[in-house]
Amino acid sequence: MGRPTAVFVDRDAIKSNFDIAKSFSPNSKFVSVIKANAYGHGLKEVAQTLSKCTDAFGVACIEEALLIREAGIKNPVLLMEGFFSVEEIEIASKENFWLMVENQFHVDHILSSKPSQPVKVWFGIDTGMHRLGFQGREVGINFQKLEASENVQPSLVVSSHFSTADDLNSNTTKNQINNFDSSIKSNHLINYKHEQSLSNSAGLIGWSGSRRDWQRPGYLLFGNSPFVQKHEVEKVLKPAMDFKSKIISLRDISAGESVGYGQNWTAKKQTRIATVTVGYADGYPRNAENGTPTLVHGKRCPLVGRVSMDMITIDVTDIHHATIGDEVLLWGKELPVNEIAKYSNSIGWELLSRITSRVPRHYLN
């Protein structure tokens, strides 16, 4: 009943991908990163799926963390951008939300606050991404303040984030690992009670030197390779999302006739056009190029014409039995989201997280 555009999420695939992530560092603990509505897969549902597998969850903000609590899930939750207002410190204290601390604002307010119980701190170091984290002499000074505070739990996690771990041909990640270790040593942060965390998805799989006490996989949990190059891990990961719609109209056009807004595609021969009910208001990328593949009856059918708000048009000339109501796979197990992203001058992370709220999610297994 109703519009057929929908997302189908395979819970077993997510669990399988977690097991693959765990196999790369079996003695580590894991923060499963499920920010941005679990990369479009549904925050509460994915948290429920992984709650018995993972040690903790990672999100961008306290609003996302509170949704996890609303779902009845008790795992610790790391607020990966820290807190934005002082009031969040007490909420974090009560709810077992862990705080990323990476600037003077964070330190000053934690030290001056009066939480009902000490907060768990992840201490961020800028090793070269230059987005978040303490630099230079700030590292040792602020770490010592937090370590000495009764407002902070005794064991801190020292962490950083990679800028180009997805590119295995770049030396940047190796340099960042060296910068991290040098900062730990020069600021005397080595202590048995303090833990370390460096790896995101690409770091965990591609850079063994980054596998420390805590791993932070996100994108790979949903079955997608985090690398710019082809990688063996693609053979074992299971894409958890199928994004589907259906054909709602069919027509034949002659050579020289154009399709869609702006007439940016013109037929070179007699062509059968199928209209599919999905558009950029659903999260399908408006900048997807002509030729972007879809799947109909298991065969590739290229996008023709500009993506509009609610519809796209595809060439089904080679699908002789195509009819209204036929299912169209936009990306998923048989059509990687990373491939669609390349046609859209984007990345898979963006496409998944941009799927809008009007697209229903259905959960399998």
User: So which residues are the catalytic ones?
Assistant: 35, 261
Helix (H, G, I), strand (E, B) or coil at 310: coil
CA distance 189 to 185: 6
**Residues 6+ away with beta carbon under 8 Å from 186:** 140
**Residues 6+ away with beta carbon under 8 Å from 101:** 82, 107, 110, 121, 122, 123, 124, 142, 146
CA atoms within 13 A on the CB side of 134: 25
CA distance 62 to 139: 25
Taking each continuous run of H as one helix and of E as one strand, the counts in the chain are 11, 16
Q: Which helix (DSSP H) or strand (DSSP E) does residue 57 occupy?
A: strand 56-59
Among residues 1, 8, 14, the alpha carbon closest in space to that of 238 is found at: 14
Among residues 13, 24, 6, the alpha carbon closest in space to that of 49 is found at: 13
Helix (H, G, I), strand (E, B) or coil at 335: strand
CA distance 184 to 157: 12
Q: Give how far the C-alpha of residue 3 lies from the chain's centroid of Cα atoms, to the nearest Å.
A: 27
- Specify the residue for token string 């709810």: 95
